[in-house]
Amino acid sequence: MADEEWIIDPVPDEPHAHRDGGWERRLVTRLAEAALQEQRRARRWGIFFKLLFFGYLVAVLVLVYAPDWKSASIAPGAHTALVRLDGLIAPDTDASADNIITGLRHAFEARHSKGVVLRINSPGGSPVQADYINKEIRRLRKAHPDKRLYAVVSDLCASGGYYVAVAADKIYVNENSLVGSIGVRMDGFGFVEAIRKLGIERRLLTAGEHKGLLDPFLPEKPEEVAHVRKLLQAIHREFIDTVKAGRGDRLKNDPELFSGLIWTGRQAVALGLADDFGSVEKVAREVIKAEDIVDYTPTEDVFAKLADRLGTSLGRALRFFLRGSDPVQLR
């Protein structure tokens, strides 16, 4: 348009000289308005990301402190405290000693919990982790003599799972549960013939005569196999002593009890490995007499769990490939 076309003229007396000054003011005004709009836009994005970060922080705090909040506010009345032990008992799992012990402590220390139920569905796992949990249960029972702990078996309570269960005041099972497997195992494999046929030479440098103990790419040494058998027998002896200490004279005198065999729930009750039949709900209602059930099992931040599991899985795969065997397992 004609009025938008400006011509700079050095002669100030011309009529359009004042219009030149108006153009400059308009340009400065537009630049200032654009700068203000950009600042407002940046401020809005800044507020958005701050709110997003705050929301994430709140979510993390909820996940981290969930057990405390459960014991403090979610369960103000009389209730049965539940802790779930599911899956393999190992340091980097949901059934690790750290997780289970944390849940048990919150369950016992909760002001209005009338009793504790440890629901077990586990094939076993690390003897060290199982022993940690067993000893902590016994300590908590002594520290809180007014509260009893009952182990309730769902599908499976084998080996390390049973090692934990015997620390309870009583063990309840389903008639079709699988219970027992009181034994110790160590898994491995051998590639000696395979690498010989492929023409592969194993080169292993060690400081220590037996540092390459049970290397899967070298022939077994009888003295090393004998040494490992002694280790397994010693751990088995400890397992048997722990079961006897927990079950006492309730155990029947059966030579097969500690052979590594597994039994149905009905057989387990007959052999003294368990006390009676019952579910979590039945024990809460009829034994503890607090029908409301509150779960004190710790939960983990899903992002941390994903990162931890990924790193753990890679590490285990690498270790298994290089070593050829997993640690000793109660399963």
We report the CATH number of the domain holding residue 139 as 3.90.226.10
Instruction: Say yes or no: 39 and 118 in one domain.
Output: no
- Is 268 contained in some domain? yes
Instruction: Say yes or no: 138 and 226 in one domain.
Output: yes
Q: What is the mean pLDDT of residues 79-95?
A: 96
Instruction: Say yes or no: 9 and 51 in one domain.
Output: yes
Q: What angle do CA 136, 137, 141 make, to 5 degrees?
A: 115
Band (pLDDT 50/70/90 cuts) for residue 307 is: low
Predicted local confidence at residue 63, as pLDDT: 55
Who's near 78: CB < 8 A, 6+ residues apart? 112, 114, 290, 292
Instruction: Say yes or no: 255 and 155 in one domain.
Output: yes
Is 295 strand, coil or helix? strand
Instruction: Say yes or no: 180 and 94 in one domain.
Output: yes
Q: End of a domain among 31, 64, 97?
A: 64
Instruction: Say yes or no: 137 and 241 in one domain.
Output: yes
Q: Which residue has the tokens 């629901």?
A: 119
- Is 209 contained in some domain? no
Expressed as residue numbers, the domain containing 15 is: 1-64
- Is 124 contained in some domain? yes
- Is 196 contained in some domain? no
User: 10 Å Cβ neighbour count for 259?
Assistant: 11
Please tell me the total count of domains within the chain. 2
Instruction: Say yes or no: 28 and 91 in one domain.
Output: no
pTM summary value: 0.70
Instruction: Say yes or no: 175 and 315 in one domain.
Output: yes
Instruction: Say yes or no: 16 and 111 in one domain.
Output: no
- Is 227 contained in some domain? yes
Q: What is the mean pLDDT of residues 22-44?
A: 77
- Is 148 contained in some domain? yes
Q: End of a domain among 64, 92, 107?
A: 64
Predicted local confidence at residue 135, as pLDDT: 98
Predicted local confidence at residue 136, as pLDDT: 98
Instruction: Say yes or no: 166 and 248 in one domain.
Output: yes
- Is 187 contained in some domain? yes
Band (pLDDT 50/70/90 cuts) for residue 17 is: very low
Q: What angle do CA 292, 82, 248 make, to 5 degrees?
A: 120
CA atoms within 13 A on the CB side of 303: 6
Q: What is the mean pLDDT of residues 292-301?
A: 86
Instruction: Say yes or no: 246 and 163 in one domain.
Output: yes
